[in-house]
Structure 1
Amino acid sequence: MLLYQFRKGTNPRRVIIYLSEKGIDVPRYELDYENKEHRSEKYRAINPSGRAPTLVTDAGLAITDSAAIVEYLEELHPERPMIGADAASRARVRSLERLSADLVARGQLWLWNQTDAFPGKEPAPSRDAADRIFRYITELLDVLEKEIGEHAFIAGPTPTIADFTAFPIFQTARERFDLAFGNDHPRLDSWYKRFRDRPSADY
Structure 2
Amino acid sequence: MLLYQFQKGTNPRRVIIYLNEKGIDVPRYELDYAGGEHKSREYLAINPGGRAPTLLTDEGVPITDSAAIVEYLEALYPGTPMIGTDVVSRSKVRSLERLGTDLVVRSQLWLWNVTQSFPAKEPSPSLEVADKLFGYVTEILDVLEMTTADNEFLAGNTPTIADCTVFSIFQTCRERFDLAFGADHPCLDAWYKNFRQRPSADY
- TM-score past 0.5 threshold: yes
The SS at the match of 2:144 is helix
- Once residues 180 and 130 of structure 1 are traced to their aligned partners in structure 2, the CA distance between those partners, rounded to angstroms, is 15
- Compute the displacement of 1:64 (Å): 0.2
Q: What do the CA deviations read for 1:22-64 (whole angstroms, capped 9, x no partner)?
A: 0000000000000010011110000000000000001000000
Q: Tell me the equivalent position of 2:167.
A: 167
The SS at the match of 2:82 is coil
Q: Tell me the equivalent position of 1:49.
A: 49
Q: What do the CA deviations read for 1:135-165 (whole angstroms, capped 9, x no partner)?
A: 0101100000001122110000000000000
Q: Which amino acid aligns with 1:80?
A: T
Runs of 4+ in structure 1 deviating by more than 3 angstroms, as ranges, are none
Q: Which amino acid aligns with 1:127?
A: L
Q: Tell me the equivalent position of 1:23.
A: 23
Q: What do the CA deviations read for 1:65-115 (whole angstroms, capped 9, x no partner)?
A: 000000000000111110000000000000000001000000000000000
The SS at the match of 1:4 is strand
- Once residues 73 and 119 of structure 1 are traced to their aligned partners in structure 2, the CA distance between those partners, rounded to angstroms, is 34
Q: Which amino acid aligns with 1:29?
A: Y
Structure 2 residue 140 is matched with structure 1 residue 140:
yes
Q: Which amino acid aligns with 2:122?
A: E
Q: Which amino acid aligns with 2:97?
A: E
The SS at the match of 2:46 is coil
Q: Which amino acid aligns with 2:32?
A: D
Q: Tell me the equivalent position of 1:39.
A: 39
Identity of matched residues, %? 71
User: Which structure 1 residue ranges, 5 or more long, are not aligned?
Assistant: none
The SS at the match of 2:8 is coil
The SS at the match of 1:109 is helix
Taking the TM superposition and a 5 Å limit, the aligned residue runs for 1:51-90 are 51-90=51-90
The SS at the match of 2:58 is coil
The Cα RMSD (Å) is 0.4
For this pair of structures, how many residues does the alignment match? 203
Structure 2 residue 105 is matched with structure 1 residue 105:
yes
Q: What do the CA deviations read for 1:118-150 (whole angstroms, capped 9, x no partner)?
A: 001001101100000000101100000001122
Q: Tell me the equivalent position of 2:120.
A: 120
Q: Tell me the equivalent position of 1:185.
A: 185
- Once residues 45 and 127 of structure 2 are traced to their aligned partners in structure 1, the CA distance between those partners, rounded to angstroms, is 36
Q: What do the CA deviations read for 1:163-200 (whole angstroms, capped 9, x no partner)?
A: 00000111111111111110010000000000001011
What TM-score, normalized by structure 2, do the two folds share?
0.99
Q: Which amino acid aligns with 1:113?
A: N
User: Which structure 2 residue ranges, 5 or more long, are not aligned?
Assistant: none
